[in-house]
Structure 1
Amino acid sequence: MDRLRTEVEFGPHRVEVPAGGYYDRFRMNPDLDEVARDPAAGNIDFFRRIPKQLVESRVGPTWAPNFYYRTSHIQALLLAPLAQLRTMLPTPLEPLRAFPGYGLVALTFFSYSVCDNDPYDEVSIAIVIRRPGARGSHALELLDSMRRRSFHAHVLALPVTTEIARVRGVYGYQLPKWRADIALNIGANVSAQIAGPDGTQDLVLNAPLPALRNVAPQSHMATNTLINKVDGVWHQATVQTNTLSFAQRLLPRDVKLLRGGGPLSQLLDGLGASKIVRLDVVKDAQIVLNLPTPLAPGWV
């Protein structure tokens, strides 16, 4: 075994993690005073008001929620025909209509540089859906979601770069995760890419860096909710984001998204995802990921 890695237990699974890393040292229950002394983590006051609890999960007792102390991401929001989105959504989920005949697909590249289960990168393809039990106007729901920075989504693909992230996602959340090579860079330009199983490029995104805006901690919060089935029962998992440095552009014309024919390219093609209507670049943010909880019976 690589001397810089060690094997740990995650429920019934054994996986390798960085020796002396956050997971090896804290097992998801970090000493926040010690984390605060890590210069890479930055200011972590946001997490001190969110107590961790030892809760039961699909893989046994685990500490939750999961803390991501330093993250960045690039998101392209694409239009896709409602008819094609409906074919990819399990009943009773319904795509949220953005324009007549069209809904939204979110392609997001994440980089988690400091977190409870050690650094990794991730790519998400998700359909923006109506809130469970929502009725009435799609337009009003969309405007309300934009105002509150709170969306619901159903994830179709979620590849990651490390085994601990894959195992946690698959067995803890029943999310569609697999291992892949992923890279993200936010510099003079923004770029992100993911390779397919054969090593060739699947998706490549490039764009000029928009002007970033720095904001005070907890002044630009967002809450997104993932809806998926866990052991055949509908669950929701909330993701709280404390955004610190970001930029947003509507109808960007200089974003290049190249599709190399890999699994994510094929998924976007199958969804009919085409025009990018919004580009979000988040250079610095903190994230809290909660464990899935069952939706109330009769929400449909």
Structure 2
Amino acid sequence: MERRYTQVEFGLHKVEVPAGGYYDRFRMNPNLDEVARDPAAGNIDYFRRIPKQLVNSRVGPTWAPNFYYRTHNVQVLFLAPLSRLRAMLPTPLEPLRAFPGFGLVALTFFAYAVCDNDPYDEVSVAIVIRRPGASGSHALELLDSMRRRSFFAHVLALPVSTEIARVRGVYGYQLPKWRAQIDVSIGADVRARIAGPGGAPDLTLNAPLPALRDVVSQSHMGTTTMVNRVDGQWHQATVQTNTLSFAQRLFPRNVTLLRGGGPLSQLLDGLGVSTIIRMDVVKDAQVVLNLPTPLKVFDCA
């Protein structure tokens, strides 16, 4: 059956969203009792502990944070020369050193099956950076970040598969988003791809599915903080992840990443990424995306 769409207003923009979908019905302020009756959403008790608030944003009043009730993703973490990373980072951001002369670049394919702004896929290319204001040993900071599963990153590219996701990301967060064809599948194996502007493959990832580990809700929490300029001022936006089923492999074997010459391929080439030091597969997770807040530590930078 052909999906029907309806037009909604987002700030000064008019966007088509699925008729009867979450955005059409709830406008980012969902009735969680109704969401709980959606079999695709799963158990949503985690979100009941996080009240939404109507807050001012770049596009006017909006309900925040954004809830992602059922998601999965695959991430590969590369080594890349510090000299290349520094050249791509705006001052005063600094790459977090993993080994002498090398920092980290994360390529992540996301699939958001059930969320406040309807299903979409996304690909992120980000540099892992030092915590703003941090000093001292890079090694100790990296170990502490791994222990707490809490990282800071500067996103260089964030293409998405729907217009509402693009508009929200560009005008709400000033993130580098554009529309692209994206597919992410975690089944008997892991497959992910993104097409370039002409439809030809840009990046294609294939890997065997590692043995997954299921954990109790809120026992394997993680935080990623995106740091970027919003209207010329430094801001941070925090992403909280409640991981439910996952696998992790260090120096994974049999991971194939084909670069087709599109914008993300060119970006990875420019960053000089080399060895994949870790692959993370998340089969099931719940995510909370907060609006950007001012980052005062750079005010004197």
Structure 2: segments with no counterpart, 5+ residues: none
Q: Does 1:228 align with 2:228?
A: yes
Q: Does 1:87 align with 2:75?
A: no
Paired with 2:45 and 2:220, the residues of 1 have a C-alpha distance of 15
Report the counterpart of residue 159 of structure 2 in structure 1: 159
Cα-to-partner distance string for 1:263-288 (whole Å, 9 max, x where unaligned): 00000000001110000000000000
Cα-to-partner distance string for 1:172-230 (whole Å, 9 max, x where unaligned): 00000000000010011101000000110000000000000000000000011000000
Runs of 4+ in 1 over 6 A off after TM superposition: none
Q: Does 1:291 align with 2:291?
A: yes
Cα-to-partner distance string for 1:139-184 (whole Å, 9 max, x where unaligned): 0000000000000000000000000000000000000000000001
The one-letter code matched in structure 2 to 1:57 is: S
Paired with 1:299 and 1:286, the residues of 2 have a C-alpha distance of 36
Paired with 1:186 and 1:17, the residues of 2 have a C-alpha distance of 26
1:130-141 alignment to 2 at 5 Å?
130-141=130-141
Report the counterpart of residue 26 of structure 1 in structure 2: 26
Question: Which SS does the other structure have where 2:160 is aligned?
Answer: coil
Paired with 2:80 and 2:283, the residues of 1 have a C-alpha distance of 27
Report the counterpart of residue 55 of structure 2 in structure 1: 55
Report the counterpart of residue 124 of structure 1 in structure 2: 124
- 2:3, 2:18 within 8 Å by CA — same for their partners in 1? no
Question: Which SS does the other structure have where 2:150 is aligned?
Answer: coil
1:68-83 alignment to 2 at 5 Å?
68-83=68-83
Paired with 1:276 and 1:209, the residues of 2 have a C-alpha distance of 16
Report the counterpart of residue 206 of structure 1 in structure 2: 206
The one-letter code matched in structure 1 to 2:246 is: F
Report the counterpart of residue 255 of structure 2 in structure 1: 255
Paired with 1:3 and 1:95, the residues of 2 have a C-alpha distance of 44
- 2:73, 2:110 within 8 Å by CA — same for their partners in 1? yes
Paired with 2:46 and 2:300, the residues of 1 have a C-alpha distance of 32
Q: Does 1:280 align with 2:268?
A: no
Structure 1: segments with no counterpart, 5+ residues: none
Paired with 1:207 and 1:283, the residues of 2 have a C-alpha distance of 14
- 1:120, 1:161 within 8 Å by CA — same for their partners in 2? yes
Report the CA distance between 1:296 and its aligned residue.
1.3
Report the counterpart of residue 178 of structure 2 in structure 1: 178
Paired with 1:252 and 1:42, the residues of 2 have a C-alpha distance of 31
Q: Work out the percentage of aligned pairs sharing the same amino acid.
A: 81
Question: Which SS does the other structure have where 1:40 is aligned?
Answer: helix
The one-letter code matched in structure 2 to 1:250 is: L
Paired with 1:247 and 1:24, the residues of 2 have a C-alpha distance of 35
TM-score normalized by the length of structure 2 = 0.98
TM-score normalized by the length of structure 1 = 0.99
Question: Which SS does the other structure have where 1:264 is aligned?
Answer: helix
Report the CA distance between 1:3 and its aligned residue.
7.2
Question: Could you say what the CA RMSD is over the residues aligned between the two structures, in angstroms?
Answer: 0.9
